[in-house]
Amino acid sequence: MSFAGYYKLSSYCLFAAGFLAVAATGALGPIALMLCGSVLVAGAFIDTARLRRALPGWVVNGVTLACLPACYLDFKLQSHSLLISALHLILFVAGIRLLTRHSDRDYAYLYLLSFGALLAAAALTIHLIFLVCLLLFLAAGISSLILLEMNRSATRALIGGMIQPVVVPRSLRGTGFDLFASFPTRAVAVLTLVLAASIIALAVPLFFLLPRVSSHVHHPAASQTVIISGFSETVELGAIGRIKESNELVMKVKVDVPSSQLPPELKWRGIALDHFDGRSWSRSRSDRNQIPTQAGYFKLQEAAQGTDVIVQTFLLQPIATDIVFGSHRVLAVSSDLGWIGRDASDNIFSLTQRTSATRYSVVSDITRPDPRLIATHPGPPPRDIELFCLQLPQEDPRVAGLARRVTAGADTRYDKARALESFLRASYGYSLELKGTPNSPDPLAMFLFEVRRGHCEYFATAMAVMLRQLGIPSRLINGFRAGELNRLSEHWTVRQSDAHSWVEAWFPPYGWVEFDPTPAEPESHTPAFLKTIASLVDALDLWWSDDVVNFDVRKQSRAIQAGRDSLENLRLAARGYVRAAGQGLGTQLVGLRAPQWVFSPTGILAASMAALLLVGIFLCRRPSILRRLRHVLGGRRSRHDQHAVIVGFYANAVDILRRHGLERRRCQTPTEFARDLPREPFGEALAALTVIYNRIRFGQLAHEGDLAQARDLLRSLRIAKRQNRI
């Protein structure tokens, strides 16, 4: 490839990176995208230098100046956004320069405009495609700047008469010594990639080490809010159409425990609807009580019902609702949302509808109810539950008769609910469309006795109404299924097609218990390699959104602390290795034969004085080394160093036990964990180490000798590991 061809290709990659980054934001309409794409393609084929010579200079300058009032009108009449108007201005000016470029100065202007477009895109999107555009811009920018300087230097040399362009024979082409020979494309490409990789390698540590100025990243407003089909704050039977047609992304959810430890029918609860008028469900109470924050969380429950507590991190797309989603039963919500309120039906709301991407965490108790603990003959439910969750409209008497027939063989109220759930799953079919009379006066009876096929709203309504016929308080829940699990990053991708409805019924002492009477849907048969590619892209997108875009102060602190702990553990391990090697070397030297005078008092004294003299001379010239050596070899330790080392010893001990199947659960304190372990051969050592750890970890001072005792206890655990006793 010639120099001119490679120069043009590199420059166009730079322009395209800025344009694609802007196009990926969705801020440009179809007309703007078509015009910008047409200008980009036309500029690659027309003779721009000839067009520039044909147009008077005042025409080009006048059209460029006309962009300013056009930008103002765009802001006032069309976009109503200063950022979008500035983006339109950048693209318009870039299009004029692209079609009339003829000199290196025009290329330099285009580079700056492309950089401005990339900056604007950074303020408008957090999508993974921006990372691709950024890497393309970096590589093309390095290459273009190198070639720009080469072209400018060659042009100055030609004008000054210092070189003469010649056409060399084909056998000599490729040397790169003249502009008309074959250009060393491969060498320049390799140089560009090496420089780009070096820049990234230098930038990554700075990204992690530079202090963060806020606790979380502000996400820009989206150009269009997603309206979720199949999810709303009211449900009307027959009104929801094809709820599975759209694959629009709604959220991504990451859970802090492996998917194998989660229930098979995990759901993201949205809103509870308790009033049914025969055709539709709605909320009977709309009052919201503000929840105060405690230690960075909004606390919603006083205690968990069991030990199955999970933490979910939601990356929620802009959607037309202010509902806060979370797995049932929600204990706390992170303060990232700024403000949340809760109504009498345990629905959680943020301050306003989210017009920007949102990240927050939810702590939930997913403990499954034990049927043996559910009261067989409970007393009356609370007054508000009895008033609002047992209400029934005038309806077909066959519904109550069906409920009594299905549950005739059940002994307890909980067994009756399970019987209804199993009956609906086994006796009715799932369908995206409900056939029959659209305006039937009783759509539930039509579903149960005529059509016998429907989607999740009909199944949930049927179970909720029949539970109320049996005197069991119930309500309908709107939310989402867990979604598709990405095995690479262990996160759930939730789309509009995962919108779902199910039932909650009141059973003391657990309170509201979930039931899902909707039959399972058939799984789609997607080729394995397509699933793998989609999972890889999805995992990369989650990494970009969660670990790069949302890399805030808390994550930076955790990363720095983890690095410090790793370095401390490495230092201690190296120190132990050196000490062990020294002891082994001394044992071997004892057996060596040496002249008698070497071990005489005179010889030992002379050797010691010579060694001390050399060390003293060296340390006098380097006093800082003396202080550092004293610290490394275990001289006087500060109180903070002792605390950090002992905490590291305890973490190492827990890690040793975890690798052998003895893992500490989230609900266990260090003392409970040590108490539950068998006493021999390692239980007593961990119990003693736990006492030291608790004393220095939670505010009390370390005692003299704690460090040595903790080191000995950790060593005993490691010896037990090597002897295969754990």
Pairing of strands 280-282, 275-276: antiparallel
To the nearest 10°, report the CA torsion of 263, 264, 268, 271: -90
Compute the distance between CA of residue 579 and CA of residue 581 in angstroms, rounded to an integer: 5
Do 221 and 83 touch, CB atoms closer than 8 A? no
Do 502 and 531 touch, CB atoms closer than 8 A? no
Structural tokens at position 666: 């989230």
Closest CA to 272 of 571, 446, 124, 476: 476
To the nearest 10°, report the CA torsion of 643, 649, 655, 658: -100
Structural tokens at position 670: 């260090």
CA terminus-to-terminus distance, the chain: 66
- The phi and psi torsions of 316 (rounded to 5 degrees) equal -95, 130
Q: Which residues contact 555 (CB under 8 A, 6 or more apart)?
A: 547
pLDDT of residue 180: 45
What angle do the packed helices 82-99 and 30-45 form, to 10 degrees?
Answer: 20
Q: Which residues contact 331 (CB under 8 A, 6 or more apart)?
A: 299, 300, 301, 304, 309, 363, 364, 365
Side chain identity, residue 326: G
Pairing of strands 330-334, 267-273: unpaired
Side chain identity, residue 306: G
Compute the distance between CA of residue 582 and CA of residue 593 in angstroms, rounded to an integer: 19
Beta bridge partners of 255: 312
**DSSP letter (8 states) at residue 354:** B
Do 494 and 250 touch, CB atoms closer than 8 A? yes
Q: What is the pLDDT of residues 618-662, one digit of tens each?
A: 766 665 555 455 544 444 444 446 777 788 788 888 888 877 777
| DSSP per position, 203-228 | HHHHHHHSPPSSSSPPPPBPSSPBP-
Domain residue spans of the chain: 3-209, 247-370, 373-515, 639-722
Number of CB atoms found within 10 A of residue 480's CB: 24
Do 288 and 271 touch, CB atoms closer than 8 A? no
Number of CB atoms found within 10 A of residue 474's CB: 28
Compute the distance between CA of residue 505 and CA of residue 425 in angstroms, rounded to an integer: 17
Compute the distance between CA of residue 454 and CA of residue 448 in angstroms, rounded to an integer: 9
What angle do the packed helices 528-543 and 128-159 form, to 10 degrees?
Answer: 80
Do 645 and 679 touch, CB atoms closer than 8 A? no
Structural tokens at position 371: 């049927």
Across 614-629, b (16+ Cβ under 10 Å) vs e yields eeeeeeeeeeeeeeee
Structural tokens at position 560: 């720095």
- Reduced 3-state DSSP string for 124-188: HCCCHHHHHHHHHHHHHHHHHHHHHHHHHHHHHHHHCCCCCCCCCCHHHCCCCCCCCCECCHHHH
- The phi and psi torsions of 500 (rounded to 5 degrees) equal -155, 155
pLDDT of residue 423: 94
**DSSP letter (8 states) at residue 677:** S
Angle 298-304-306 (CA atoms, 0-180°, nearest 5)? 150
Number of CB atoms found within 10 A of residue 492's CB: 23
The sheet that has 289-290: what strands, in order across it?
Answer: 289-290, 340-342, 348-350
Compute the distance between CA of residue 714 and CA of residue 696 in angstroms, rounded to an integer: 16
Across 142-180, b (16+ Cβ under 10 Å) vs e yields bbbbbbbebbeebeeeeeeeeeeeeeeeeeeeeeeebbe
CB burial class (10 A; 0-12, 13-18, 19+) of residue 289?
exposed
- Taking 70 as the pLDDT cut, the residues of the chain under it are 158-182, 212-232, 238-246, 352-356, 433-439, 522-531, 545-546, 550, 552-554, 582-605, 619-641, 679-682, 699-702, 721-726
pLDDT of residue 546: 67
| DSSP per position, 392-408 | --S--HHHHHHHHHHTT
Closest CA to 234 of 268, 288, 287, 284: 284
Number of CB atoms found within 10 A of residue 655's CB: 11
Q: What is the pLDDT of residues 109-137, one digit of tens each?
A: 888 888 888 888 887 777 778 888 888 88
Q: Please report, for residues 552, 563, 721, the alpha-carbon distance to residue 656 in angstroms, rounded to integers and kept in the order given.
A: 31, 19, 8
| DSSP per position, 5-20 | HHHHHHHHHHHHHHHH
CA count, 13 A, side-chain hemisphere, 92: 19
Q: Which residues contact 144 (CB under 8 A, 6 or more apart)?
A: 7, 10, 11, 13, 14, 107, 111
pLDDT of residue 164: 54
CB burial class (10 A; 0-12, 13-18, 19+) of residue 664?
middle
Compute the distance between CA of residue 517 and CA of residue 420 in angstroms, rounded to an integer: 8
Where does 210-307 have alpha helices with state H? none
Structural tokens at position 320: 């037309």
- The phi and psi torsions of 350 (rounded to 5 degrees) equal -90, -175
Side chain identity, residue 431: S
Structural tokens at position 460: 């949930």
Q: Which residues contact 93 (CB under 8 A, 6 or more apart)?
A: 64, 67, 113
**Third-level CATH fold of 373-515:** C8orf32 fold (3.10.620)
**DSSP letter (8 states) at residue 378:** -
pLDDT of residue 662: 79
| DSSP per position, 29-91 | -HHHHHHHHHHHHHHHHS-HHHHHHHS-HHHHHHHHHTHHHHHHHIIIIII--HHHHHHHHHH
